[in-house]
Amino acid sequence: MVTIYDIAEKANVSAMTVSRVINNTGRISEKTRAKVKKVMEELNYVPNQMARSLVLQQTRSLFLLITDITNPFYTTLSRGAEDAATKNGYRLLFGNSDESLEKEADYINTILTTRVDGVMIAPAGDPSLPHLESLKRHNIPFVLLDREVPGVDCDIVLGDSKEGARQLVNHLAQQGHRRIAMVNGSDTISSARLRLEGYREALILNGLAYDKTIVFETSYGPRTDLSEMEAWLDSLNPLPTAVVAGNNVLAIEVIRLLRKRSLRIPDDISIVCFDDFGPYSEVDPFMTVAAQQAYQFGYLGMQMLIDRIQNKDEAGPWKKIVLPAELLIRRSVSTIK
């Protein structure tokens, strides 16, 4: 491995002079600068970021931890985050926790040991609290995405889950649906709680009763085994005329089960969900959704994070951005006379 000492020796200067050329600091004569640069090229020199970070006590890199890399909500969010990070001269690294607290813990460990300058994180849920406390303890600035965690004060970007759920249910009610089921993410996740609340409130506002036997709670992430969900679905008698899914992944899984039973959508049963399907909705604009501004989640969150990092001393009040969801009416809901 070529080091600044190798360069220094070959160029007949001190290592410090090489460092100055690399970083464009201090005073260097044009002649020496040229000489050093030439040697660097000749030897294919690449600075060692670890050595540098060790002394500088900063890495110029940020971390984005999402819970499902195959979910277009998060990949679109990632693009927003990436754009904002790059624009500000930061390197962005990604991690995927898979909605798992254990994987999240591993990534938190990576984050702490590699001393990144800041973190954007979609927490696995309320039990992520110790992970976030750990970040706090070690003074690593972070921004929460999409999910609040009780007991944690920080900058955060949220979607308006309650209002989004209300819109979905209102739409179904307006189309004449009276028996509306819900498949939702875990109760330990703030957005799931709010979506359930919105669902409930909208039911009542539309003169419908809330019936907890037609609400199924599970994980937001894709599961390998659908049998539990299947058992729940089979237990419903009569079948609901519509299902609200807590996110796009759940919607797909419900659809898979419905297809298995040869139930047609929307003829036999209607379905709506949170989050759009990225570009794939265009292939066939089928699902009626409450679309969230995924790109903005990432972009705005990243701006907040960088802001926080660069003004670490000032420590203004915590900021909270709430982005509204938009109801996109497509073909997955039937009208009931």
Partner DNA sequence: AAGTAAAATGTTACCGATAACTCTAATTTA
Partner DNA sequence: TAAATTAGAGTTATCGGTAACATTTTACTT
153 to 182, contacts with a copy of itself by CB under 8 A?
A: none
CB 159 within 8 A of CB 292: yes
Select the residue interacting with a copy of itself from 138, 260, 261, 312 (CB under 8 A).
Answer: 138
**Dmax over Cα atoms in the chain, in whole Å?**
89
Residues 6+ apart with CB under 8 A from 40: 7, 18, 21, 22
| Number of residues binding to a copy of itself, judged by CB under 8 A | 54
Q: Note whether 12 binds DNA by CB under 7 A.
A: yes
Residues 6+ apart with CB under 8 A from 10: 39, 42, 43
Q: Note whether 136 binds a copy of itself by CB under 8 A.
A: no
From 24-32, 46-54, 206-214, 316-324, give the range in contact with a copy of itself by CB under 8 A: 46-54
Select the residue interacting with DNA from 9, 10, 43, 47 (CB under 7 A).
Answer: 47
Of 116 and 304, nearer to a copy of itself (C-beta) is 116
At 41 the three-state DSSP class reads helix
Q: Note whether 54 binds DNA by CB under 7 A.
A: yes
For residue 211, give both structure tokens: 């019936």
Q: Note whether 44 binds a copy of itself by CB under 8 A.
A: yes
32 binds, among a copy of itself, DNA, none (CB under 5 to 8 A by kind): DNA
At 257 the three-state DSSP class reads helix
Q: How far is the CB of 205 from a copy of itself (least distance, A)?
A: 29
Nearest to 172 by CA among 122, 221, 129, 214: 214
100 binds, among a copy of itself, DNA, none (CB under 5 to 8 A by kind): none
Q: Note whether 57 binds DNA by CB under 7 A.
A: yes
122 class by beta-carbon count within 10 Å (0-12 exposed, 13-18 middle, 19+ buried):
buried
Q: Note whether 10 binds a copy of itself by CB under 8 A.
A: no
295 binds, among DNA, a copy of itself, none (CB under 5 to 8 A by kind): none
Q: Note whether 287 binds a copy of itself by CB under 8 A.
A: yes
Q: Note whether 140 binds DNA by CB under 7 A.
A: no
Residues 6+ apart with CB under 8 A from 333: 171, 172, 175, 177, 242, 266, 270, 271, 272, 288
DSSP 156-173: EEEE-HHHHHHHHHHHHH
- Chain contacts with a copy of itself (rule: CB under 8 A): 1, 44, 46-51, 53-54, 57, 59, 61, 69-70, 72, 75-76, 78-79, 82, 86, 91, 93-96, 103, 106, 109-110, 112-115, 134, 137-138, 222, 249, 251-252, 255-256, 259, 277-280, 282-284, 286-287
